[in-house]
Structure 1
Amino acid sequence: MPIPPHDRRASGAVVAALGAAGLIVLAAAPAAFGDGTVSELVVGGIEPIHGLKPGDTFDLPVTVANKGGTAEKVWVSSWVTRGLDFVDVPSNCRVQHVESYDELPEHWTAACAFDQAVEPGVVYTPEKPLRVKVLDRAYRDRLRVEVGAGGAQRDDEGGDPSVAGTAPAVKLVEQPAGGEGSVGLVNVSITSVNTADYQVTGAALRGRVGDTVTMKVKFANAGPAWVLEDDEVEPGVQIIVTPPAGTSVVKRDHDCHAEGGKYLCPPHFGMNMAEDAQMVYTFKLKIDKRIAGAKGSIALTTQLRPFDHNKANDKADITLDVTDGGSTGSTGGSASGSNGSTGGSTDGSGGSAGGSSSTGDDGTTSNGGNLAETGSSTLPITGAAAAAVVTGAGTLLIARRRRARNLS
């Protein structure tokens, strides 16, 4: 008997809001039955796991109990983020890949249906637990386990078609009383020993006085781990772009915020940095005058990043070669140290993240005027401005509405 669909958009927002705490506990709504009794299913046995290594496997010691009326059929749904994967999935479970949405990261769900009664006051566990493998890209991941009455659910929009497991089906078996849990949904953190290399690439610009040149600079994660940002564990990285002296910004990248002569640019991907993610920030600079040795930079902010052991590539130069002679202000070219793309980028879930094209930005100054922004100031970046950028970064997340539909 399938359970009715629920508002996955709303429930996803709640889980996302609490997810950074590392351990989330939410009560599941009771399910009503025709005989007037009400089941109250709870899940237990799930704890955070730390210190894993790529290639490791671990079992999910899930317990299910019923504190209400008898449930004639139940489901247990587990999902893991992209550093983990399910192996040896029983045939009474269906696995589905779901893209990131509503601040929830990309994940894989294994929804297992148990066509058997769960009696009040009895603790059950699957006769063989689900097994999870730690992938090469694992670092900080999440595990979520939920229990409910009736049939399991699937994510309709953005989720790939679910696939049945191939291992023998399992059933729930009774366990000794105790440790039965107290809630219907649990989220915990799963961490692995791994590294990720955040790095930046500068640009080499060339033109005459009066020219407007295009500057492309890049931020990337060279892996091997993906990183699920968690501000409560460590603040998310920001990118600081400082144009060379003697230039003014005619048009800034639309994701970047001006602070004096510097620009703070958030990652386009919000919380998620896939192991192969990269993004290009595009500016248009006018060469106002020739200054010998003028040089700008792109650099990462200095928040603690224990996963990133290579600090040598956290900053790169933006050089400017001003050739002799004047100019009428025509658009000039640039030789960029980036990949030369026009702003395409790969998000933390493997899809498009909107890139760094400057379309849609009119190049206005930070106070809303239409004058070009100078690139020669070196004013410090204030905490308030950084906070504004973090707030603004939230608007980059693309909210995708979804609805739940029952598994057939």
Structure 2
Amino acid sequence: MSLIRRRGAAALLTAAALLTGAIAPAHADDPAIELDVPTTYYLNQPGVGPTGGTRLWLEPRLTGGAAARADVTLKIDASDLKGKAKLRSRRQCGQHAGGTTYTFTCDLGTLTSGKPKLLDAVYIEAKPGAKLGAHGKLRYTFSAPGVPDSTFETEVWVAGPTLHTRVEKPLKNLKAGSTIAFTPELRNAGAYPAKGLGLMLHTNHLQAAVQYRNCRYGTAGDQSTAYCSFDQTLEPGQAYEVSEPFSISVSKTVIHGDISYSASLPGVAHEWQDGPGADPAQLEQVGSGPELSLRPVERPASAFVEYGRPIPTTLSLDTDLQAMAQPIEGRTGQTVEVRLGMRNAGPGQPKRPTIKVTPPEGTTVVPPEPDLEEPLDWECGPETAGAKAYHCRLGGGMTPGDTAAVTLTFRIDQRVRDAVGRVEIVDNPKFPAHDPDRSNNTAPLEARATGGPLVEPTQTPDTSGDQAPAASGSTSGSSGSGPLIATGMALAALLAATVAAHRYRTRRSSAPTDTT
């Protein structure tokens, strides 16, 4: 007697199959040995992929409360795939070269409840010359003394459909703390039906709500992921949208975020790309609401693309960044460390704010030695090759009320009369800070050198608009060049206090550029 059970599950047929396929529990008597396999599995086209095929990860487990079962065997029958695919085996399944046999038996010995036994002895690939779109059944039958056989099957396709996602526009001027409804759309751009679809939605600095019962959800820091499985068929050339939108909470402070989504099918031809949230261990919550489905919609093919990019989101929220600088103090010929930075007075949280450091005449920034063992919180480098000005970009964001400072080393080459440089907050064109008050975005960087002859300046420092932040408890006074600067113990304490909370280092590089 054999129990036939077909399950489209997010399971270990391969690492990709962990994240694809819809779960369809059996309604017959439970088998003694369980195996989760996708209903449909797509191979790469012939000649594409690793030599010798892709490993099938199989993890049988006991059911029915049995503590252990001895003398378990697994029969693999791929006779329906002759001329389409070829299998090879090793270890418990015997040595069989690819394409030499389509049925073989694996000796699994004893299976123990709670102790997974991962079978990694079977490989599969498309057969050279196989017709694209050819398909057939792959069957697995477990046998053990005293219990009925348990049989599972997967329909294996040579190549398969191509799934595209909708071209999305940026989501701008979102209200802080609001909730938005987001509806992904897909299109089967291939020539074959798509079965056992998985849809993964990922957010940065937003939060996807736990909703639908055929979806799993997870959160890691300020990122969230939803993975939904659909036991539906997507017809070639047809576009689809999810039946209900995803409910996504917008951040209360973080100005810039993004939403991305992608579709995949079980099999090596449709593996998930590595990325945040792709680990199924993070997806620990299951929705309890209605089942999410896909419904056909009329859309032109031009509305979809094979590899969609993250969809930028922007809040309608301003921020107030304030530049800060300590003076460069020391004797001519010395190198001194100076802390420079910025404060975020809120209410928004910008992404990767940047300061431009223009050294005072008579001083030079000493390029730091790279230290790859330290965390890289700042990226600093000359504005252009050989330039005196430096750009320093903070690696992450700044929450309202935060102060971030970086230590740069300056060499005092000459004692120049009234030498003043500047620390200026410059906008990141990709992630603008939305800072309407530019009056405090620049702070003067004074050089207070002693020793050596006093040299007259060869250039007039541009200090127009220079003003340091009016931080609580700081003192302000007029310098010889006229602009207001934050001085004294209050600013020194404010800059030094960041050392306790953050670790910074700079690296020698060209001016930082944003590639994300």
Quickly say closer, same or farther: Cα 1:200–1:114, change in 2 above 3 A.
same
Matched to 2:423, the amino acid is I
State the partner residue of 2:366: 251
Quickly say closer, same or farther: Cα 1:172–1:121, change in 2 above 3 A.
farther
C-alpha deviation, 1:307, in angstroms: 0.8
Percent identity at matched positions? Answer: 17
Counterparts of 1:162 and 1:277, CA distance in 2: 34
Counterparts of 2:391 and 2:263, CA distance in 1: 41
1:89 has 2:205 as partner? no
C-alpha deviation, 1:356, in angstroms: 2.9
C-alpha deviation, 1:342, in angstroms: 8.8
Structure 2: stretches of 5+ with no match in the other structure:
1-7, 17-43, 46-131, 136-155, 370-379, 454-487
Counterparts of 1:210 and 1:250, CA distance in 2: 13
Count the aligned residue pairs: 313
Identify the structure with bigger relative contact order (alpha carbons < 8 Å, sequence gap 6+).
Answer: 1
**3-state DSSP of counterpart to 2:232:** coil
1:108 has 2:235 as partner? no
Which of 302, 306, 314 is matched with 1:191 structurally?
Answer: 314
Counterparts of 1:322 and 1:54, CA distance in 2: 47
1:144 has 2:250 as partner? no
Q: Structure 1, residues 353-402: CA drift from partner, whole Å, max 9, x if none?
A: xx2358xx7xxxxxxxxxxxxxxxxxxxxxxxxxx944xx25x98x9xxx
TM-score relative to the length of structure 1: 0.59
Q: How does 1:7-18 map to 2 (within 5 A)?
A: none
Contact 2:354 2:428 in 1 (8 A): yes
1:58 has 2:175 as partner? no
State the partner residue of 1:297: 422
State the partner residue of 1:240: 357
Quickly say closer, same or farther: Cα 1:225–1:124, change in 2 above 3 A.
same
C-alpha deviation, 1:238, in angstroms: 4.8
Quickly say closer, same or farther: Cα 1:214–1:38, change in 2 above 3 A.
closer
C-alpha deviation, 1:170, in angstroms: 1.8
State the partner residue of 1:339: 495
State the partner residue of 2:282: 161
State the partner residue of 1:215: 338
Q: How does 1:279-298 map to 2 (within 5 A)?
A: 279-286=405-412, 288-289=414-415, 293-298=418-423
State the partner residue of 1:9: none
Structure number with the higher strand fraction is 2
Contact 1:122 1:174 in 2 (8 A): no
Counterparts of 1:156 and 1:301, CA distance in 2: 30
Matched to 1:79, the amino acid is H
C-alpha deviation, 1:156, in angstroms: 7.2
* Greater displacement, 85-94 / 73-82: 85-94
Contact 1:208 1:322 in 2 (8 A): yes
Contact 1:48 1:190 in 2 (8 A): yes
Q: Structure 1, residues 99-146: CA drift from partner, whole Å, max 9, x if none?
A: 8xxxxxx74332212233334465543332211121123434332221
1:129 has 2:245 as partner? yes
Contact 1:212 1:284 in 2 (8 A): yes
Quickly say closer, same or farther: Cα 1:200–1:55, change in 2 above 3 A.
same
1:310 has 2:437 as partner? yes
**Which has the greater radius of gyration?**
2
Contact 1:205 1:319 in 2 (8 A): yes
Contact 2:256 2:351 in 1 (8 A): yes
